Amino acid sequence: MTVKPNTSSLSGRSKIVSNKKMTFAEKIYLPAIFGGFAITISHFFGKKATIQYPEETRSRSEIYRGKHVLKRDDEGRERCTACGLCALSCPAEAITMIAAERTDDELNLYREEKYASIYEINMLRCIFCGLCEEACPKEAIFLTNEIVPSDYHRGDLIYGKDVLVEPVDKRVDISHRQTPEVLEFKKDKTQTHNL
Amino acid sequence: MDGNYILYKFILASAILLISLLVAMYSTLLERKVAGFMQDRIGPNRAGVFGLLQPLADGLKLFFKEEFMPGTADKFLYILGPSLTMMIALLTSAVIPWGDSFTIGGTEYTLQVADINVGVLYVFAILSIGVYGIMIGGWASNNKYALIGAVRAASQMISYELAMSMAIIAIVMMSGTLSLKEMVDQQHGMNWNIWYQPLGFLIFIVCAFAECNRSPFDLPECETELIGGYHTEYSSMKLGFYLFSEYINMFISSAMIATLFFGGYNFPFMDSLPVSHNVLTIIGSVVFFVKILFFVFFFMWVRWTLPRFRYDQLMRLGWKTLLPLAIVNILITGFVIMIKHHL
């Protein structure tokens, strides 16, 4: 009994290898070489894929998960209340904070009675997963479509509040990060944190 | 042999030396640009406009690198290797006719340092010595990768020299001279050797790639197998000399190809131009450099197109294909010359 070759194929893409003798044209290489020249020279004059980085940047999606921002509310007060949920949710353990109590003369600086006196994100540890913004009950932390630039020292990549908190005069637009469902939910004033 | 003559030769030799170095320097940039363009990139463009200062930056970097010498290396030979390679690479330029001649004050000044009547033989002699630089460098490094690279270089260059010389013999038979100047003069206008010796040209250019250790025959230094081949243990400007001499070799090889097969400084309709002899010489030299630069580009084009040969394929191509083809080419040329002689 002769063994039949196995013709069944799971993917339907299997090919039977042929070891046929090369033709004369294949043996002298030259036609194939000139074919190669044609391909390389067409790429030589073709469109270049390079993006000249610092001058030009690759366009990023509006919901790109990049550098974080600590939001202020409409009156310019920091929203963060140093609850620590972001730090707890962070799988890379990149976030640390120290909480402090708001004094009476700081009413226009912080929205809640408790605030983060130190808030640091280690950008070398951060994996930009976005769980911190998901965990935040105060809508204080968001990821933006800006990237974290490289640096010469590891220490300089631990971003503090000076980098993270948005400036009062240059507010960061994060509206595109909120889905229609979230925006709808925010109108529900029975939820205390929507007030 | 008056002082004037010596001064003119001295200026010419210095000019050719400087031009060779300059072309080799900018070939390194061109190589990276060509590589980039062929891979849909744009290559270095940060140092100066279009990256024109890049070769200077690279050179400077090589000068400031640590000068490392392996403890077990043979000190004298280790230094001799790159020096020899560089020197030999520059020697060939002496016999190449870079242009016709200038007539200033009734005296004729040819644009060739030495019009020796055995020019072709001189070129081959120098090419044969070329392998010593690599061989000595690889041996003196006392490193097995370097040694393998050097052994490969030696056998490769000896194998391809044969086919290369055979390809040239057909040209020598045709033109009946060994002087490069006379050969160029015979290819006046469009009467180039390439029309008569296409097979010889093909053999010659393949061998030129092998002689320059350029891809697809860059086995002596193939990074994937031998790290850096014969220059594995070299650093700083000694490495720079090895890399630089490769580009000089490329330039000289291109000049040889242009001289032997593409009419050197001859160009079509050169007799119908209403200009003086001196101006015609300048145009001819420019044309010659355009031809050379095209072949330098071709060297790069090939490098970024073809993959590297395997060593047995390299040897088979050299001994079993190119050498017999070159002999057949000589036979055909001889046959045609004989028929023409009898007609």
Chain segment A76-113, per-residue pLDDT in tens: 888 899 999 999 999 999 999 999 999 988 888 898 88
> For residue A47, is it within any domain?
no
- Which tens digit of pLDDT belongs to each residue from A153-167? 999 999 999 999 988
Is the CB of A50 inside 8 Å of chain B's CB atoms? Answer: yes
The token duo for B42 is 């744009």
What kind and span of H or E run contains A99?
A: strand A95-101
Among B41, B42, B304, whose Cβ lies nearest the Cβ of A40? B304
Tally of CB atoms within 10 A around A50: 14
| Residue type present at position B278 | N
List B109's β-bridge partners, or say none. Answer: B102
> Which residues, in sequence order, are bridge partners of residue B61?
none
Share of chain A above pLDDT 70, in %: 94
Is there a domain that residue A111 lies in? yes
Distances (CA, A) of B253 to A124, B74, B127, B208: 52, 31, 10, 7
Given this model, what pLDDT does residue A194 score? 63
The residue-averaged pLDDT of B222-236 equals 78
List, as one string, the DSSP characters of B11-76: HHHHHHHHHHHHHHHHHHHHHHHHHHHHTT-----SSSGGGTTHHHHHHHHHHHS-----TTS-HH
Q: What is the ipTM of this complex?
A: 0.78
**pLDDT grade for A18, boundaries at 50, 70 and 90:** confident
CB within 8 Å: B42 and A50 = yes
Say if A34 falls within a structural domain: no
Comparing A127 with B149, the larger pLDDT belongs to A127
Q: Is the residue at A84 inside a domain?
A: yes
The CATH number assigned to the domain holding A190 equals: 3.30.70.3270
Q: How many domains does one find in chain A?
A: 1
A118: left (phi over 0), alpha (psi -120 to 50) or beta: beta
Position A128 in a domain? yes
Among the partner-chain residues A33, A40, A47, the one whose CB lies closest to the CB of B38 is: A40
Cβ pair B320, B159 in contact under 8 A? no
Helix (H, G, I), strand (E, B) or coil at A78: strand
- Average pLDDT score over chain B: 85
Min distance A40 CA to chain B CA atoms (Å): 6
Is the residue at A17 inside a domain?
no
Is B308:B314 a contact under the CB 8 Å cutoff?
Answer: no
| Residues B272, B116 contacting (CB under 8 angstroms) | no
Nearest neighbour of B38 by CB, restricted to A33, A43, A50: A43
B294 touches chain A (CB under 8 A): no
Residue A174 belongs to domain spanning: 68-194
Report the pLDDT value the prediction gives residue A8, as an integer from 0 to 100.
67
Q: Is residue A188 part of a domain?
A: yes
Task: Tell me if B44 sits within 8 A of B144, measured CB to CB.
Answer: no
pTM attached to this predicted model: 0.79
| pLDDT tens digits for range B205-215 | 998 888 888 87
Residue B10's Cβ-count burial label (10 Å; 0-12, 13-18, 19+) is exposed
